[in-house]
Structure 1
Amino acid sequence: MTSITYTKVIDDIAYLTLNNGTYNTIDDAIFLDLDRFKMFINQNPQLKGLVIMGEGRHFSSGANLNNIKNNSKNINLLEDSLNRGKEILNYIETLPLITVAVIKGICFGAGVEIAMSCDYRVCSKNSKFSFPESENGFIPGLGGCLRLPKIVGKKEALKLILSSVIIDSEEANMIGLVDKVVDKGEALDEAISIINYLTNDRSIEQVRNICSLVKKQALIDKNALNDESKYFSKLVQTKFDNH
């Protein structure tokens, strides 16, 4: 399980940090202890925002390909792991507070999928984005095929996923994948500014009620998410059975 630090709370904003080596690789689709995270959120009813970021120079390079290969023999276990990972992202996506992903450096694959579960995405100018899964013979498996078109539209989503092209921060902003591009070292401050701007002079009850209601319409069909897990698992099995 990827090392996660999420107990830090400053001025009613919680911070969840991906912390797993230089590139913050996602070793397991179940990258976070969901029960513990829910307990943390419930124990901090004063929270108005959540920031998700990567430790060091990068957000995340995405899934660990070796771990995917090792799990390819047990398709049921792999599928279950993906579905449980999606439960984590669904929970983050529907949190009744303002969530912002702070991105710098590499943000690939599962890293982008985690970032897309947030309400807003702020990135540094040096950020790079990609979905390398197609190049590796399979598809995004943590909701990327379903969240990306809702954010950037069908045509851009097809291009990004099928081509595995790497795009820079300017293009990511142009197509709507990120909401703001800032100079190096300024992304976290910008994320905090967004949260404060949206919640200042508003009661926690107001913020939570509004977020809860607005986010209900953003829920992705569970059957579609399950289908994505099935397709991912079968493609992974096919790829590694042939090697």
Structure 2
Amino acid sequence: MKNFSLINVEVKKQTAFLTINNPPVNALNAVVLQELEQCLDHFRQDSSVKAVILTGAGTFFVAGADIKEFTSLFGQEELAEQAALKGQALCSKIEQFEKPVIAAINGACLGGGLELAMSCHMRIASHEAKLGLPEIKLGIIPGYGGTQRLARLTNTAKALELILTGRFIDGKEAEEIGLVNHSVNSAQLLSKASELAEAISQKSSLSIKSALASVLKGIDLPLQEGLEFEASQFGALFGTEDAREGVRAFIEKRPASFKDQ
């Protein structure tokens, strides 16, 4: 694949590691947004990759959007809305990605950075990480989906507290309120994320895709419609070789050898 100017890409054990490298704080500017989208497009087609880990270089995940880009939006309400929609489009693309995306939050994860992390399917944070949506301090609000996803991942009251005060929380508190899956020592961050990605990658890509779709589409449907969608996904998998192999391996008391077919 092509080389990127602000994203470092590495593939290990069926996992693509995307590291945002935009010194000094890995600001989420237009180039980072574009390159992340291109990376996703590439790995969607790469059958050798079953999971993606997104992290930041150095001691920052993403410290926020590039505030300097905001100065051109004053008095340009339509352009500002379009900028928000562009950021939302990337976050939605991550959320709807057919392979699991894990955020490894290694430091400051603020504003657009937290919005990016919240669009990932799972999040691992270091104890020392700082997470927050401080846009209110600039006289604006989150625009890349922060007001919507934070309330869904935690609860309305906690989301309002964090958004209206702009308060930062560490990885431990983020785990307590359900914002991240796990909080670990910084030295263990990538190994924990890799462990999770590897556990997923051992499964059939077909069932991974169906499970993601069932949860992410079903959560926005009325319960009965969600159940019907789940049943359709369940039924479709019984037409795959991997389902045959998985059931046969269980009966024969041996590890399954999935072929993603």
* Distance apart, 1:141 and its partner CA: 0.5
* Counterpart amino acid of residue 216 in structure 1: K
Alpha-carbon contact 2:8-2:21 (below 8 Å) kept: no
Please, which of 121, 125, 128 is the counterpart of residue 126 of structure 1? 128
How high is the TM-score relative to the length of structure 2?
A: 0.77
User: What are the Cα deviations for residues 182-233 of structure 1, in whole angstroms up to 9, with x where unaligned?
Assistant: 1122111101111222342x2222222222332223569xxxxxxxxxxxxx
Q: Is the 8 A contact 2:14 2:201 kept in 1?
A: no
Question: Is the contact made by 2:133 and 2:162 (CA closer than 8 Å) also made in structure 1?
Answer: yes
Please state if 1:175 is matched with 2:180.
no
* Structure 1 position 27, deviation (Å): 2.3
Q: Supply the distance in 1 between the matched residues of 2:90 and 2:10 (Cα, whole angstroms).
A: 19
Paired residue type of 1:36: Q
Partner of 2:18: 16
**Larger RCO, structures 1/2 (Cα 8 Å, 6+ apart):** 1
Larger radius of gyration: 2
Q: Quick one: structure 1 residues 46 and 186, their matched pair in 2 at CA, closer, same or farther if it must change by over 3 Å? A: same
Three-state SS of the structure 1 residue aligned to 2:61 is: coil
Indicate yes or no: 2:70 matched with 1:68: yes
Tell me which residue corresponds to 1:227: none
Deviation of 1:26 (Å): 1.5
1:116 is aligned to 118
Q: Is residue 177 of structure 2 the alignment partner of residue 184 of structure 1?
A: no
- Contact 2:28–2:66 at 8 Å: present in 1 too? yes
Unaligned runs of 5+ in 2: 222-261
- CA RMSD, Structure 1 to Structure 2 (Å): 2.2
Counterparts in 2 of 1:84 and 1:196: CA distance versus 1, 3 Å: same
Q: 2:217 maps to what in 1?
A: 216
Tell me, yes or no, if the aligned pair for 1:30 and 1:81 is still in contact at 8 Å. Answer: no
Amino acid at match of 2:77: I
Q: Distance in 2 between matches of 1:122 and 1:113?
A: 14
Q: Is the 8 A contact 1:3 1:18 kept in 2?
A: no
Q: Which residue of 2 aligns with 1:207?
A: 208
Tell me, yes or no, if the aligned pair for 1:30 and 1:88 is still in contact at 8 Å. no
Which residue of structure 1 aligns with residue 54 of structure 2? 52
CA gap of 1:158–1:21, structure 2 versus 1, over 3 A, is: same
TM-score between both structures, scaled by the size of structure 1: 0.82
Q: Which one of the candidate residues 126, 137, 156 is aligned to 2:139?
A: 137
Matched, 1:157 2:122: no
C-alpha displacement of 1:30: 7.1
> Where in structure 1 are there 5+ consecutive unaligned residues?
221-243
Q: Distance in 1 between matches of 2:64 and 2:193?
A: 22
Structure 2 Cα separation of the partners of residues 78 and 3 of structure 1: 25
2:149 to 141, 147, 150: 147
TM-fit CA distance, 1:29: 9.0
- Counting matched residue pairs gives 218
Write the distance in 2 (CA, Å) between the matches of 1:12 and 1:219. 30
Which sits farther off after the overlay, 125-134 or 205-214? 205-214
